[in-house]
A and B are shown apart, each in its own frame.
Chain A
């Protein structure tokens, strides 16, 4: 079957660093997405990893290990506005038929 696991909720402190993990078991793998979703809003694109390794984009970085079926999203210098849900999604084939995780709700405390 298709399975994507993320922690349901995480709490971190403003200014700190947090790592949100995502493990997946899917029939086929073409890439992995991370999206951010603020309450009451649509998801917005953060990153797309196809190859193993770390990709950095400002305060956000995403890591992928295809052999381990594992990814993480690393958020640095946390700001209050980073409080949101973070969704991991696997693209099983080149037609972008995505399998979505349930999302990790990140709570940032002052």
Chain B
């Protein structure tokens, strides 16, 4: 596609429910990143994919968070048993050749 596409753009979920966030990177980009950003805060790195493998998962805040990438393309970030502190915008980015491009983000609210 022309840009990084994320879905859903907005999600309100009840505490304790699981959520899945999807990222469709720019075609041909081998690097894919997930970041989290709380209101007024900086970017918090979650996980990085090179192709289908994740050489750096160091940013995942707890074992409730997991991510996968299939076919070197689409990635899914899953948050299990959501908590209120998970409320944030989850940004996906893909990169190749010196620049990374961000999607519009998935705004998650846990109530």
Contact = CB atoms under 8 A, between A and B. Distances in A.
Interface string A45-64: 10010100000000000000
B48 A97 contact: yes
B45 interface: yes
B100 A96 contact: yes
Given A95-B31, A97-B56, A100-B42, A44 B102 contact: yes
B104 A87 contact: no
A31 B100 CA distance: 12
Contacts of B95: 96
A74 interface: no
The secondary structure that dominates the B interface is strand
A48 B91 contact: no
Contacts of B103: 42
Contact residues on A (Cβ < 8 Å of other chain), bracket: 10 to 19
Contacts of B98: 31, 48, 50, 96
B12 interface: no
Interface string B74-100: 000000000000000001000100111
A59 to B, nearest CB: 19
Contact of B31 (A33, A48, A89, A96): A96
A64 to B, nearest CB: 14
A107 interface: no
Nearest to B55: A95
Nearest to B35: A100
Interface of A: 31, 33, 41-45, 48, 50, 87, 89, 95-98, 100-103
Given A33-B100, A42-B102, A50-B98, 10 more contacts: A31-B98, A33-B99, A42-B105, A43-B43, A89-B43, A95-B50, A96-B33, A98-B33, A100-B42, A103-B42
